[in-house]
Amino acid sequence: MKPAFSICVYCGSRPGQQLSHTYAAEAVGRWIGENRGELVYGGGRTGLMGTVADATRAAGGRVVGIIPTALVGKEVANPLCDELHVVDTMHERKAMMGERADAFIALSGGIGTFEELFEIWTWRQLGYHDKPVGILNVAGYYDRMLDFVAHGVREGFMNDWQMTLVRIGREPEELLSALVDEARRHPSGDQLARVL
């Protein structure tokens, strides 16, 4: 059966210090699975990545992992994925994740998560896609980053329109529902495949 939607989750390959991050990853995966969705993610078994994949599968969802060869051992490639794609480069990984997803959500994570979030946000700004992008701000994790981004607006390097291109929420179910609803109302086609 074809999934009802496909959502790309960016998140840490570590669990973080607070259990709230793990609980949020579990909630995200559970919601995807319970709503007959498909998870597209980085393909690892460690940290929040493994948590969201396990929760999606346990709730009946489909899991698509995409991992570069260099990270197969480091992030422990997940053999339980319904599809596991091993690609040559990080660029291929991110391009395939972008193509396969209807929407994107960033959970807590490190520099790799930040980079993925900002790239997909930039791609939307440039018109490479018009798929919804969200940030799940668990326990205020992204507060300081969002303050800095707002500082960029005040300093004239960004504008308010760019800020409207990303949804920010604290409740997993509410944010996911809004992203999927937006994706259904405004399907963007396959623009990413054409431009990357």
CATH code for the domain of 133 = 3.40.50.450
Q: What is the pLDDT of residue 74?
A: 77
Q: What is the pLDDT of residue 73?
A: 80
Scanning the structure block, which residue is given the tokens 């609980």?
A: 23
Q: Report if residue 195 sits inside a domain.
A: no
Q: Report if residue 194 sits inside a domain.
A: no
pTM over 0.75: yes
Average pLDDT over the chain, rounded to an integer? 94
Number of separate domains in the chain: 1
Q: Report if residue 103 sits inside a domain.
A: yes
Q: Is the distance from CB of 14 to CB of 48 less than 8 angstroms?
A: yes
Q: Report if residue 11 sits inside a domain.
A: yes
Contact residues for 124 (Cβ-Cβ < 8 A; gap 6+): 130, 131, 133, 165
Q: In the numeric block, which tokens belong to residue 145?
A: 């980053």
Q: Report if residue 181 sits inside a domain.
A: yes
Q: What is the domain range of residue 33?
A: 6-186
The one-character DSSP state at 108 is: S
Q: Report if residue 108 sits inside a domain.
A: yes
Identify any residues that bridge with 8 across adjacent strands, giving them in sequence order.
40, 104
| Interval 96-154: pLDDT, tens | 999 999 999 999 999 999 999 999 999 999 999 999 999 999 999 999 999 999 999 99
Residue 196 predicted with pLDDT over 50: no
